[in-house]
Structure 1
């Protein structure tokens, strides 16, 4: 008995849900019918007047400053740190010695390589003399030459390791972090020694949309502002424009900024790029919704005011400027374009303007 009652309740609820959906759909259809009925049997549409306006292309974009050069300096030789000559915050120049690795073992390797090379040179001289008198074969002479060349290469490698015992800065910059202490042992696998940054020039990384990136070129000068230093003006130059949009459909742009002599700007600060463009000539603009389908269709409906009918017009679209589209050809100032209801329109369809 309980099972029968449950089934009856489920059926009643299902029928009620179906009745609600049908009633809701009927209401929507009646609203659509009423909307069209406002036009007295014609298709109800909304319209906009074609206007000629001055296009303002100026815009701003916010981003972060990053160092133009940033280097995590790693060890190339194994050994114990014998001396450190710089500390965090010190300014260093390219080629300056930052620290020194104990070179005792490295020097021993170099001396062994030197002795091996000198011995190989003497062997080569003896083989060459013997070859001239027929005492050795060409193959034996070639092997002596190969041994001498290999010994020379090993000597050069050991000399390079001796030189690398003096850890030198590869760039001009500032020691941002020091990871070692005197007495610490570093490995040849790449122990991190220093983090060096060059803030004499910074890069401001910003993102712009598709309509903005179309007006940018590498090499363009850009005014840079910082909220930390509102009274100071900085200048920059566009050095990179991404050829592909990122996941947000924006285009990354990098602007190289010359820091002042005081190095006021620091990596990680926020900055604002102010993009200014020359004043533009007035252009004919229409709402983006005027196009039948999409902007790429290059087709709009124009209102024939004499007969209140829709007329198809082929146009040439230009730049997309926010909610408006520039029209290069096909429309004149003062004409009226239809901005909604195009899906129900064809050439000569009667229309009624709904405000």
Structure 2
């Protein structure tokens, strides 16, 4: 058997690949469809736009990014932060209304929430009723003083009358005592005049005791007036305290800032000191960044700083150093060599000028990363790319 007969025969050429018969005209070249050509132009245009956008972004970044820092400057990465403030309930109670949402800008003194004050208002009405009763008690006590003063005056008049009786009885007794031995008057009259004199003198002592009693009653009445007046003052202070609690139930923003979180919702009950809102004080914005030992050691309080944010590299924001940490934040396990000491990083706080913040208050955002550049030598001129450039107010 022939082995070649077992090989597969080559495939027959396709109709389109068969050679044209001799003398036949050549077929026209194939043209792409209009739809395919349109797609190719669209992709080419998109690619050109993308390349142009990337080139523009790279050019802008190259233009705005700080070039190599000259001598006398240092820079470090940081993040813009602001002082956080918790708006909390002073006394326990139920939240009635929350008037702001997360992200809202608030001004100092703006009403942001209300607590339910029904119980406090009832307590105030009760204290006002007690105040009226205290005023009545003061008037009653003053009337008692007037009455006791009259009683004391009457007792003093009685004393004067009794003293006059004593004087007359004493004179009669003296005459009888002189005439009785000469039988001018009977001894019985002498005895009567002696008894009358002693009785009059006893009556004086009784009247004087009544004056002392009236004086004691008068002092007691005056003490009642002082006590009633103290009750008035105490009740008035209670009303003022309750009113202060009612005023504190109207929660207001302590500073200009922006609301970050609503911690509680209307209808919830908060304990004393319970947080309701969290806000950031946009008047105290700063950037924290880090510098190595060699640069941090040359930073002075109040040194000028320029802040450039990653989100807006076209702007350069002025700031000042307000704090230099006295303890390194990144410390190797052991510091034994000079090289290891140079690895220590110190935290620097650069506070943005309040005037700048006030002029652009609604545009201030916290949490943005960026770079902070500090001038270590006061006489060195800032580079052109770090000159102050602020957005329009």
TM-score range, shorter chain: 0.5 to 0.7
1:298-351 deviation line (CA, Å, top 9, x unaligned): xxxxxxxxxxxxxxxxxxxxxxxxxxxxxxxxxxxxxxxxxxxxxxxxxxxxxx
Match of 2:347 in 1: 252
Rg (Cα) greater in structure? 2
Q: Return the match for 1:66 from 81, 87, 111.
A: 81
- SS at 1:151 equivalent: helix
Q: CA deviation at 1:95?
A: 1.4
1:185 alignment partner in structure 2: 269
Mapping for residues 239-318 of structure 1, pairs under 5 Å? 239-243=322-326, 248=331, 250-257=345-352, 258-259=356-357, 261=360, 266-278=365-377
Q: Does 1:194 align with 2:277?
A: yes
Deviation at 1:137, TM superposition (A): 5.2
Does the residue aligned with 2:126 lie in a helix, a strand or coil? Answer: helix
Selected match of 1:148 from 232, 248, 270? 232
- Cα distance in 2 between the residues matched to 1:171 and 1:96: 9
Q: Output the CA distance in 1 between the equivalents of 2:373 and 2:72.
A: 11
Check whether the contact 1:239–1:256 (CA below 8 A) recurs between aligned residues.
yes
Whole-Å separation in 2 of the counterparts to 1:98 and 1:279 = 45
List, as ranges, runs of 4+ consecutive aligned residues in structure 1 with deviation greater than 6 Å.
Answer: none
Counterparts in 2 of 1:224 and 1:138: CA distance versus 1, 3 Å: same
SS where residue 233 of structure 1 aligns? strand
Unaligned runs of 5+ in 1: 1-54, 282-355
> Partner of 1:232: helix, strand, or coil?
strand
SS at structure 1 position matched to 2:95: strand
1:194 and 1:279, CA in 2 relative to 1: closer, same or farther beyond 3 A?
A: closer
Alignment of 1:1-355 (within 5 A): 56-67=71-82, 69-128=83-142, 130-131=144-145, 133=149, 134=218, 136=220, 139-187=223-271, 189-199=272-282, 201-243=284-326, 248=331, 250-257=345-352, 258-259=356-357, 261=360, 266-278=365-377
Higher strand share: 1
Cα deviation for residue 163 of structure 1 reads 1.6
Cα distance in 2, alignment partners of residues 88 and 183 from structure 1: 18
CA contact (8 A) 1:221 1:238 kept: yes
Query: Following the alignment from structure 1 to structure 2, what is the Cα–Cα distance between the partners of residues 279 and 196?
Result: 36
Contact 1:130-1:136 at 8 Å conserved across structures? no
Q: How many residues align?
A: 225
CA distance 1:266–1:129, change in 2 (3 Å)? same
Secondary structure of the 2:254 match is coil
CA gap 1:263/1:96 in 2 versus in 1, 3 angstroms: closer
